[in-house]
Amino acid sequence: MGRELRYGIIGAGSMGREHILNINVMGGGVVTALADPHEPSLDASLAMAPGAKSFADHRALLESGLVDAVVIATPNDTHAAVLKDVLATDIATMIEKPLATTMDDCKAITSWGEGRKALTWMALEYRFMPPVTEVIQRAKAGEAGKIHQVSIREHREPFYPKVDNWNRFAERTGGTLVEKCCHYFNLMDIVIGENPVKVFASGSQAVNHLDEKYDGKQADMLDNAYVILEYANGARGMLDLCMFAEGTFDKEILTVVGSEGKIESFLPSQTVKASRRDNYGTQSQWASGASHGRGNEVKHVHNYDVRYMGHHFGASYLEHVKFRDALLNSTPAEVTLNDGVTSVATGLAAHKSIREGRVVTLAEMWA
């Protein structure tokens, strides 16, 4: 384009401001417009982008002619309404996770996005965390053999406060397994190379937000769950989530196990561990009385091109670089609306499984 890309931020809350910080240090782009009905959020964002023009309504921003690209970081339950307006334009778009909170909205967004030529990027940034990226690449290169199990453990602190406490309610977020975990389901799909066909989950609200009521409504976000996914090729995924385990050091662990070995990433230590099986479980191995892996490896993984680590170990920065380059080079989005739809459908199926106490098929979600 011969000039800096002009970015508009729709939703100037904490995640919107995270996007501003990434754009500010990335190079090649400048935030020129902000939209949010919440004035304190706008004021906080303007302090980070002092030259930007502010709007109370996203439609005014879209009509302003001030932007080449927009980042949507509004509350989850507003994504569909905002996307309906944005996808009708030719403005490049990055939409924060989760794509939507209901299957009806997912279906509508899919329809609105059909045939759209402008760049449309689903922000599922966890795949861009350097240690996670390395595990994905090594698994796809066959280092662990045929993949049979992918597990993700997140043991962390409770949800942070948000404007108007919108993230305390499943009705507004889609539920914890949509709001918090859609990117984990997406990672499982990437490693296994398929979308799941069945989901079985167990979870509850055991500790967090039990004494919180807003406008007379009890906060109802789950704070712990186990979720098992089954894939048509026989592989399985498992999520282990606990949101009252803030004392944990490595809060996020991705484990990939195949027929020939195991590869793991650990965050925040930014470590990758890998090992190969020895003799693949033969009788001679067990005759020695113990199982031993070979070629055990431990390494720290950093991407020194990252200029801003932010809240996601540099993943949001790397995603912004890829989005910018795709826009400048007219190349397709690496993460699509379809990725967003599938990850939401899996989370909604997990919640349905918890409510109904049964295995839920993904086909049901589209019925």
**Checking DSSP bridges between strand 217-218 and strand 213-214, what pairing results, if any?**
antiparallel
H or E segment and range at residue 191: helix 182-192
Output the six-digit token pair for 226. Answer: 């186990």
Q: Give this prediction's pTM.
A: 0.95
The pLDDT assigned to 280 comes to 57
Please list the residues that pair with 287 across neighbouring strands.
none
Q: How confident is the model at residue 288 (pLDDT cuts 50, 70, 90)?
A: very low
Of residues 318, 273, 22, the one with CA closest to residue 131? 273
Strand order in the sheet with 360-361: 294-300, 271-276, 261-267, 252-258, 147-155, 236-242, 224-231, 196-204, 360-361
The pLDDT assigned to 3 comes to 76
Output the six-digit token pair for 1. Answer: 């384009």
10 Å CB burial of residue 146 (0-12, 13-18, 19+) is exposed
**Alpha helices for 27-73 (secondary structure H):** 39-46, 58-63
Please list the residues that pair with 7 across neighbouring strands.
31, 69
Close Cβ partners of 330 (under 8 Å, ≥ 6 residues apart) = none
- Judge contact between 92 and 69, C-beta under 8 A: yes
The pLDDT assigned to 174 comes to 98
Question: Does the pLDDT at position 282 exceed 60?
Answer: no
**Checking DSSP bridges between strand 217-218 and strand 224-231, what pairing results, if any?**
unpaired
| Domains in the chain with CATH codes | 5-126+313-336 (3.40.50.720), 130-303+344-362 (3.30.360.10)
Round to whole Å and give the CA distance between 276 and 53: 55
Question: Does the pLDDT at position 358 exceed 80?
Answer: yes
pLDDT digits over 82-94, tens only?
Answer: 999 999 999 999 9
